[in-house]
Structures are given as C-alpha cells and as structure tokens.
Amino acid sequence: MKKTIGILAHVDAGKTTLAEGLLHLAGATRRRGGVEEGTSLLDCDAIERARGITVFSGQAHFSFGGDEYALIDTPGHADFAAEMERALSVLDGAVLLVDGTEGVQGHTQLIWRLLRQRGVPTFFFVGKCDRKEADLPAALAQLRARLSPRLLDLSGGFAGELPAAAVESLAEWDDELLERYLDGGYDPALWLRRAAQLAARGELFPVFAGSGLTGQGLEGLLAGLGALLPTDYEERREAPFAARVFGVRRDPGGGRVTFLKILSGSLEVKGEVGGEKVNEIRFYEGERYTQVPRALAGEVCGVTGLRRPLPGGGLGAVSDLPAPALQPVLQVSACWGEQPPGQVRDAFLALQEEDPALEVRWDETLRDLQLRVMGEIQLEVLQELMERRFGLGVAFGPAQICYRETIAAPAVGIGHFEPLRHYAEVWLRLEPGAPGSGVTFASECSTDALAHNWQSLIETHVLEKEHRGVLTGAPLCDVRVVLLKGRAHLKHTEGGDFRQAVYRAIRQGLCGAKSVLLEPWYDFTATLPADQLGRVLADIQRLQGSFSPPEIAGDTAVVSGSGPVATFLHYAAELPAFTHGRGHFSAVYGGYRPCHNADEVVAAAGYDPERDLENPPGSVFCARGAGYPVRWCDVPDMAHLK
C-alpha cells in the first residue's frame, strides 16, 4: 500500500530526529542525519540548518513491511504553523510526537485540533524516552486528560499482535468485540481490522513510545502504521485524475516546483493539468530528487511547468480547500531604501505563492507594501529569503495587530449599479457565521426571478475578494451572505455590473448592521518558579487574559490560559527577564474574539467607510441618461425591487 504520513510536533520535540530515525531504520539512508550537526536529510535549506529548526515541509520516501511511504516532516515552530497546516490536506495518517520530558504542550493541542477538524487518523509517539527525566506514565496521563481518553496503548512495543491490555480496551469500545471477548472468541485479525477502522474514523488513537535518537520503539511504530493505517489507492488508479497542492517552492535554478499528492488517477510528463503542461515529475528526498515519467494515485511529487496552482488548491476532480484555520496575527510594512520598489514587490509576491497567508498588499500610489505574519522569527526568515534569493535587503516597520470585523445580528444590504447602459441590483442578507467560517454564500432567490447564471456570478463576486468592514476597514469574516433577490436588464447588464452591485450591497448592509471588531488571541502556557506565581497571575489579569487553575509541582508552577495578542505580544521576553531565565512562555494562535479595547482601536483608526473610494457603500442610479451616486442610507428608498 502507498501511504503518506506526516510527523507533527511542537518546536524542539525531536520531530526531525524521529523522521531521520525512521528513514535510517527503513534503509532509506545509510547514516542517520542530525539536526545539531546540520546533516539532516529533511532540513536541507541553509536557513533551517543555521537555525536548527524546520521552516519548510521536507519530503522523503521509504519502504517497510511491504508498504511504500511518503514522509512529510513539518515545521514545529508556531511562526510556521501555516506551513504545517497546508501539509495536513495530503496526509493519510499523522504521527503526533510528544516530548516525553515535557508532555503535552499548547502547540500539541493546536495540532490536535487541526487534525480532528481535518479527520486525519492520528498516531501518538512519546519521544525522548531514552532520557532519565522522561516520564512516560505522566505523558500518557496528559494525553488522556487533554487530548483523548481513547488511547490504544502500544507504548510497550508492537510486532503485529495487540497486547492483552489493548485487546481489553478495544472490547470495551466496541459492542461486537465485547461480546466475542466475553465468549472467548478473541480473533487477532478481527481485532486489528476493527482497530484500524476505529482509527480511520477518529475514534481510537494508537500510542507508541521510544526515542528517535536511539531508535527505541521505531520498529513498533512502523509496524503499527503498517497494520492500522490501510489505504485504497490501488483501487483509485483508473479513476479520473485528482490531486491536492500542498506546497510551492523554487528550485536552485529559480524554477517553480508545485508539490502535490495524487488522490486518484495518474499524472504523466507532458500531460495537461488545468490547461498547463507538465514538464517534469520529481520524487524528492530532501533537496535531491529523481525524475519519473509518471506518478500514480497515492504518490507525493514535485511538478514543474505549472504556474497557476497555489497551496490548498485542487486539481482535476477535487475542489479547493476552504480558508485555512490558522490566520496571521501581525501586519507589517516593508522598507527597502533605494532599491527598485517594483523588484521588491515582485519578490514578495513570489514568496506569497509559497505562503499565501502572507497576503502581500501593494499600494501603487503610496508606494507602500504590507504583509501579514505570525511572529518575529518569520520576519527574520523573510529577510534572509529576500537577501539570499533576490539580492534585496529589506527591513520591516513595527508590527501591527491584524484586526477583523464581523456582525452581531442579521442585516439586509442593497446594491444598485446603473451607469448609462449598465444595470444590476442585488439584495443580500448578512448573517453572523460560525467562528472561523470566513465568508460563505447561500441563495434563497428563485431562478424564476433571477436566472441561475446570474446567481452563480453573484456567488463568485461574494467569495472572490476580501471584503472590508466599516469600523476600521479590517477584513470581514464569519459572515453568511444570503442572496434574497436580484434583477438584471435584458440589454444592458454585463458581468461586471453584478460585481459592483454585490460589493456595494455588502458594504451598504454593513453600514446598517451592528458590527463587531475582532482581535487575535493566544492560547499560552507559562512555566515559572512557584514563588513568582502571584506576579504572573496578576500580569495575566492586567493584560486582559484568563487562566485555568495553576499546576504546581515542587518549586515549579505551570499556568495555561488565553489572552489578546496585542497585550501578550512581548510577554515571552518579559517572563524570562523577571524570573532570571527560569520562566518560559509559549503561545499559539487561539482564534479571533471580540476586541478588548474596541472603542480605542476604532477611534485610533479614524476610518470613514464613505471616504473609502475602493469600497463604496453607496449605489449608482440613472436619470436623464446619466448615472449619479446615492448614499448608502438612501438606497432602500431608491431601490427598484421592493
């Protein structure tokens, strides 16, 4: 069977070391690569080797037990979590690594939530068990308490047959197995099949233990992946071609390489994908690759010749993914001195192809370039990439918070666009959406009232751009847009007319709605000397955060909580300072919540939606052969539909 697995963990958990250990055990490498020595097969970029962290998802292939594996090693640092999230879309199974000396971390929980949202079968591996400070029972207890109680404990080893405790656990979770077990009808093959089925449905999570450095427990992990992670790609080879793009990179010669997983069918050199011709198909082993004439369902490859696909995109018989769950929390302006602004802009746009979350914005009039990032380490890496790849020295201004806007109650928006010889009118209902849902679309308009092709065009215009809120001009999110009615003119309506009507309807509705300003929050964990606990708890409250009851073990305290990025942005530096290096603060993206100081932020922005010429809330009507503007508040009285 062909299987794609990803190794996921928080930073410094030993993720790349585990990956190197698996490759060496399977015979894919003659010697084990090391992160500290800069000899890792997977951390092959100069930036990764210099910093000792994974920045880009690396790939390698190996065979074990009759199965063929594509292994993807993902970044563990929170600043590069978007790169990790993009890889999830192509995984058949995930190995979620937990540091046996530290236990479950905040980033572990973030990865866990993403895996459950995506429905990726998950295998736990408790690593660093060769160290004397490792505590396997404590790590297992944390996994059960913080992630899932349904652990199939194979930490003592696995060679194809379940241990007695695991047999009993499975019987407790499955009525048919329980009945057979009580009747003395234990069938090892049936138990394994049922365990694999439960794992595929996300109802059971095998857990292994060992050390990526010494190789302890790795054979059991591979045996578990072989027995409990079935795939059916052989049956999909004759189906229509479908593939998921999960990465875009530039090779040393500057050529664009599109990384994808073939979900069904096959892909051949010189074949066409979306009107573009495939030049090469590459199987990567770190930075090295071999060219092949054809790739089959279940295989991960790099393709040259494709210029349009972006990460998250679907090719062939599969659609694009929805917006990613992880969003940048900071926005910065780039500074480039006397260097040509056009070159700087184009270089950042090239980097945006690799990381769409950057959302590069170029203002031609002001010669201003802004982009969005997750943190300071990502900014440092971007500076290095600009210098190394493009020979451009850039700096960044102070980081600003990425605010967003939504609505608290439904509102109706009307957009009318009728310059001379143009016509379109649209009525939309804006509704609060689920957190993290972005902007979605639905229609309650009959095709008798408005033809299907116009309704499809309206949907396209609702979803094609990032709409702006009316409080600060921040991006709109978590809003469901419902088409109520619309009108076209038999002679004068063109496609662009509905674009204008839709944009104006959304803005007009927002002007009359109860808008809410949202800000990004962190989920954090603070580890500190117990005698500093009082100060830290006071700091959390002062910074508008909240926390769970602290855990105290000896002279060490651990506090978990959440708080606004705006107030906690620099706390990771402050805590070690006043604890003399004994305190540690780690934070991960925790979603968007109502802004704690919304009035202050709105006042500071000084945004007037009616002066935003790029996003007008008013409409255009026609009288005496000429179009004229109408303010948003007067549009309902002027609208043609009632």
Measure the CA–CA gap between 537 and 475, rounded to whole angstroms.
33
pLDDT for res 471? 98
Residue 408: CB partners within 8 Å, gap ≥ 6?
Answer: 432, 513, 514, 515, 516
CA 604 to chain centre: 31
pLDDT digits (tens, 9 = 90+) for 544-579: 999 999 999 889 999 999 999 999 999 999 999 999
HSE toward the beta carbon, residue 73, CA cutoff 13 A: 31
Q: Could you identify the residue written with the tokens 């071999």?
A: 290
Q: Where are the domains of the chain?
A: 2-231, 234-316, 330-402, 405-513+608-638, 518-599
Fold: same for 330-402 and 518-599: yes
Alpha helix (H) residue ranges in 411-564: 452-463, 495-511, 533-542
Mean pLDDT along residues 270-291: 94
pLDDT band at 3 (very low <50, low <70, confident <90, very high): very high
Question: What's the length of the chain?
Answer: 642
142: left (phi over 0), alpha (psi -120 to 50) or beta: alpha
DSSP states along 88-132:
HTT-SEEEEEEETTTBS-HHHHHHHHHHHHHT--EEEEEE-TTST
326 burial level (CB within 10 Å; 0-12, 13-18, 19+): buried
Q: Please give the CATH topology (third level) of the domain spanning 330-402.
A: Alpha-Beta Plaits (3.30.70)
pLDDT for res 356? 93
Per-residue b/e over 486-505, b at no fewer than 16 CB within 10 Å? bbbeeeebeeebbbbbbbbb
How far from 110 is each of 62, 259, 583, CA to CA, in Å? 28, 25, 22
Measure the CA–CA gap between 82 and 74, rounded to whole angstroms.
10
pLDDT band at 210 (very low <50, low <70, confident <90, very high): very high
DSSP states along 372-423:
EES-HHHHHHHHHHHHHHH----EE---EE--EEEESS-EEEEEEE-STT--
Nearest-CA neighbor of 633 among 408, 479, 413?
413
Amino acid identity for residue 333 in this structure: S
Alpha helix (H) residue ranges in 212-340: 218-228, 233-236
pLDDT digits (tens, 9 = 90+) for 594-642: 999 999 999 999 999 999 999 999 999 999 889 999 999 999 999 999 8
CATH of region 2-231:
3.40.50.300
Q: Under DSSP, is residue 634 helix (H, G, I), strand (E, B) or coil?
A: helix
pLDDT digits (tens, 9 = 90+) for 324-367: 888 899 999 999 988 999 999 999 999 999 999 999 999 888 88
Measure the CA–CA gap between 81 and 88, rounded to whole angstroms.
11
**What's the per-residue H, E or C state across 29-83?**
CCCCCCCCCCCCCCCCCHHHHHHCCCCCCEEEEEEECCEEEEEEECCCCHHHHHH
| Average confidence score pLDDT of the chain | 93
Residue 549: CB partners within 8 Å, gap ≥ 6?
Answer: none
Query: Does the pLDDT at position 30 exceed 90?
Result: no
pLDDT band at 38 (very low <50, low <70, confident <90, very high): low
Q: Please give the CATH topology (third level) of the domain spanning 405-513+608-638.
A: Ribosomal Protein S5; domain 2 (3.30.230)
The pair of three-digit structure tokens given for residue 330, joined into one six-digit string: 């900071």
Mean pLDDT along residues 412-422: 96
Strands 93-99 and 122-127 turn out to be parallel
pLDDT for res 36? 66
Query: Does the pLDDT at position 170 exceed 80?
Result: yes
pLDDT band at 246 (very low <50, low <70, confident <90, very high): very high
At what angle are helices 495-511 and 452-463 packed, to 10 degrees? 60
Q: Could you identify the residue written with the tokens 């001379």?
A: 420
Picking from 50-54, 377-381, 584-588, which range would have the lowest pLDDT averaged per residue?
Answer: 50-54
Measure the CA–CA gap between 9 and 104, rounded to whole angstroms.
10
35 vs 531, more confident: 531
pLDDT band at 443 (very low <50, low <70, confident <90, very high): very high
CB 67 within 8 A of CB 3: yes
pLDDT band at 43 (very low <50, low <70, confident <90, very high): confident
Measure the CA–CA gap between 556 and 214, rounded to whole angstroms.
30
CB 108 within 8 A of CB 24: no
Query: Does the pLDDT at position 161 exceed 80?
Result: yes
Q: Could you identify the residue written with the tokens 């928080």?
A: 10
Residue 199: CB partners within 8 Å, gap ≥ 6?
Answer: 121, 122, 123, 152, 205, 206, 228, 229
324 vs 422, more confident: 422
Measure the CA–CA gap between 330 and 78, rounded to whole angstroms.
13
CB 304 within 8 A of CB 248: no
Q: Under DSSP, is residue 17 helix (H, G, I), strand (E, B) or coil?
A: helix
Instruction: Tell me the backbone φ, ψ of residue 288, rounded to 5 degrees.
Output: -90, 155
Mean pLDDT along residues 413-438: 95
The pair of three-digit structure tokens given for residue 287, joined into one six-digit string: 């930075």
Mean pLDDT along residues 568-592: 92
> Residue 191: enclosing H or E segment and its boundaries?
helix 188-200
Given this structure, which CATH class describes domain 234-316?
A: mainly beta
pLDDT band at 155 (very low <50, low <70, confident <90, very high): very high
pLDDT for res 90? 96
Alpha helix (H) residue ranges in 216-300: 218-228, 233-236
Specify the DSSP class assigned to residue 145. I
Query: Does the pLDDT at position 486 exceed 70?
Result: yes
**What's the per-residue H, E or C state across 79-97?**
HHHHHHHHHHCCCCEEEEE
pLDDT band at 41 (very low <50, low <70, confident <90, very high): confident
Nearest-CA neighbor of 286 among 12, 64, 25, 49?
49
Measure the CA–CA gap between 43 and 56, rounded to whole angstroms.
8
240 burial level (CB within 10 Å; 0-12, 13-18, 19+): exposed
Amino acid identity for residue 272 in this structure: E
Neighbours of 208 (CB within 10 A): 26
Q: Please give the CATH topology (third level) of the domain spanning 518-599.
A: Alpha-Beta Plaits (3.30.70)
pLDDT for res 554? 87
Measure the CA–CA gap between 358 and 11, rounded to whole angstroms.
21
Measure the CA–CA gap between 538 and 589, rounded to whole angstroms.
22
Picking from 11-25, 77-91, 315-329, which range would have the lowest pLDDT averaged per residue?
Answer: 315-329
